[in-house]
């Protein structure tokens, strides 16, 4: 891949109900606006912003979006709302073809209202609007495609889209954190088979992120330095759980992995979110991320369900500078035909019991495909 590739510049339009739609294109250029038709559907009005309630016992927010009960659920390919539109059927994407498309979710868990500052309620029962924004990211016009099967150029375009959306959504009033993720497989709970991910712009920092920030704060307060840097350094020094390593990124199975398949992809430099990455870091990420997903895919003869989750620093948190963006890919698949279910200890108490030793998982992943460094060298020579 050319090292002088510029980030994809999106083309913006609106869907019939006012939701924003952005097209991102592979390569340096864009397609003419004339080739992107308008949405001519007659759509109902957008739903009201969901309700937000505060759990005082756990100190966490819960969104209630009852309208999501009516969202599309595992339709056949001929009825897929993420496929391109045709002369006989209009979908969420009016274009007859596309590379990557990002649009506001028709059934959002947060938004469409934005703005306002949250505070823990002063009394027991007080509702707030679940402001924010939820977007869908369609990775390909091909209904039968999958992220592990994308070209490296397409993965780079997806990273461009994620970066662009993180930057824009972080500037929206009231947004506390931007979360990018892909749910893959019916076992995970996806409602559409078409290859896609989502972006949530929460009105608060998420509980898992706050826990990580508190660990980093406590680690530094004890005079130990930067937690994220030391975790990476310790994994590199140990070496047994390293899956793939590049110049700017390392992928490893964490020492205390909770899921049977769990890989963390971490930048060598301390940056809070995707927009803070350099061109070179994004370029290498497109190859290493694809490498990790293809290794996971190669473990079994059938597609493996997974959640790919980007952990980014909260937007305006005082400890934002101590956070390091990273990716966590997890799968409940513990063997061919067997899944790990979060039952009593995990679901009720949050106390995980591992089924697979992390070092064994890392060894299997390392052997699944040629090392990333070798594949990258071959690509550079080509």
Is 134 flagged in the annotation as binding? no
Confidence band (pLDDT; 50, 70, 90) for 373?
Answer: very low
pLDDT, one tens digit per residue, over 115-161 is 987 887 777 788 999 999 999 999 999 999 999 999 999 999 999 99
Domain boundaries, the chain: 11-204, 208-381
292, 304, 366, 371: which is closest to 339 by C-alpha? Answer: 304
Cα-based angle 15, 17, 22 (whole degrees, multiple of 5): 25
Is 194 flagged in the annotation as binding? yes
Helix, coil or strand: residue 133: strand
State the residue for tokens 């030391």: 230
Confidence band (pLDDT; 50, 70, 90) for 36?
Answer: confident
State the residue for tokens 């707030």: 128
Q: Look at residue 374 and tell me whether its pLDDT is greater than 60.
A: no
pLDDT, one tens digit per residue, over 87-103 is 999 999 999 999 999 99
DSSP state of 225: -
201, 211, 29, 244: which is closest to 110 by C-alpha? Answer: 201
Which percentage of the chain shows pLDDT scores above 90?
86
Distance CA 147, CA 114 (A): 31
Q: Look at residue 224 and tell me whether its pLDDT is greater than 70.
A: yes
Same CATH fold assignment for domains 11-204 and 208-381: yes
Is 80 flagged in the annotation as binding? yes
Distance CA 180, CA 166 (A): 8
Q: Look at residue 290 and tell me whether its pLDDT is greater than 60.
A: yes
Cα-based angle 355, 367, 148 (whole degrees, multiple of 5): 85
Q: Look at residue 324 and tell me whether its pLDDT is greater than 90.
A: yes
Q: Look at residue 12 and tell me whether its pLDDT is greater than 90.
A: yes
- Mean local confidence (pLDDT), 342-362: 95
Q: Look at residue 2 and tell me whether its pLDDT is greater than 60.
A: no
In words, the CATH class of domain 11-204 is alpha beta
Would you name the residues annotated as active-site residues? 196
- Six-digit token string for 71: 């969202």
Is 143 flagged in the annotation as binding? yes
Return the CATH superfamily for domain 208-381: HIT-like (3.30.428.10)
pLDDT value of residue 28: 60
Helix, coil or strand: residue 237: helix
Q: Look at residue 105 and tell me whether its pLDDT is greater than 60.
A: yes
């Amino acid at each position: 891949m050319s090292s002088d590739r510029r980030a994809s510049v999106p083309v913006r339009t609106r869907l019939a109900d006012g939701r924003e739609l952005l097209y991102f294109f592979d390569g340096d250029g864009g397609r003419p606006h004339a080739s992107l038709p308008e949405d001519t559907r007659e759509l109902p009005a957008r739903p009201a912003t969901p309700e937000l309630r505060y759990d005082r016992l756990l100190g966490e927010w819960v969104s209630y979006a009852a309208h999501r009960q009516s969202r599309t659920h595992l339709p056949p390919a001929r009825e897929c709302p993420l496929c391109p539109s045709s002369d006989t059927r209009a979908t969420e994407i009016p274009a007859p073809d596309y590379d990557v498309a990002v649009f506001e979710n028709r059934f959002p868990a947060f938004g469409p209202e934005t703005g306002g500052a949250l505070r823990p309620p002063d009394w027991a029962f007080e509702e707030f609007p679940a402001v924010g924004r939820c977007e869908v990211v369609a990775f390909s016009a091909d209904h039968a495609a999958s992220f592990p099967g994308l070209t490296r150029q397409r993965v780079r375009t997806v990273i461009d889209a994620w970066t662009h959306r993180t930057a824009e959504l972080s500037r929206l009033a009231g947004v506390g954190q931007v979360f990018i993720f892909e749910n893959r497989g019916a076992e995970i709970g996806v409602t559409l088979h078409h290859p896609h991910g989502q972006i949530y712009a929460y009105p608060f920092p998420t509980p898992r992120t706050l826990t990580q920030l508190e660990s980093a704060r406590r680690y530094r307060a004890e005079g130990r330095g930067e937690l994220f840097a030391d975790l990476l350094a310790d994994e590199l020094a140990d070496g047994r759980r390293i899956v793939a390593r590049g110049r700017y990124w390392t992928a490893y199975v964490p020492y205390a992995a909770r899921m049977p398949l769990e890989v963390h992809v971490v930048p060598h430099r301390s940056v809070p979110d995707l927009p803070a990455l350099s061109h070179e870091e994004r370029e290498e990420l497109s190859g290493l991320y694809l490498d990790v997903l293809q290794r996971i895919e190669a473990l079994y003869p059938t597609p493996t369900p997974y959640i790919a989750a980007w952990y980014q620093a909260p937007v305006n948190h005082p400890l934002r500078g101590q956070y390091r963006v990273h990716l966590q890919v997890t799968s409940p698949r513990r063997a061919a035909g067997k899944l790990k279910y979060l039952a009593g200890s995990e679901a009720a108490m949050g106390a995980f019991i591992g089924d697979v030793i992390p070092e064994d998982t890392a060894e299997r992943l390392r052997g699944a495909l040629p090392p990333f460094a070798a594949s990258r060298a071959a690509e550079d020579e080509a």
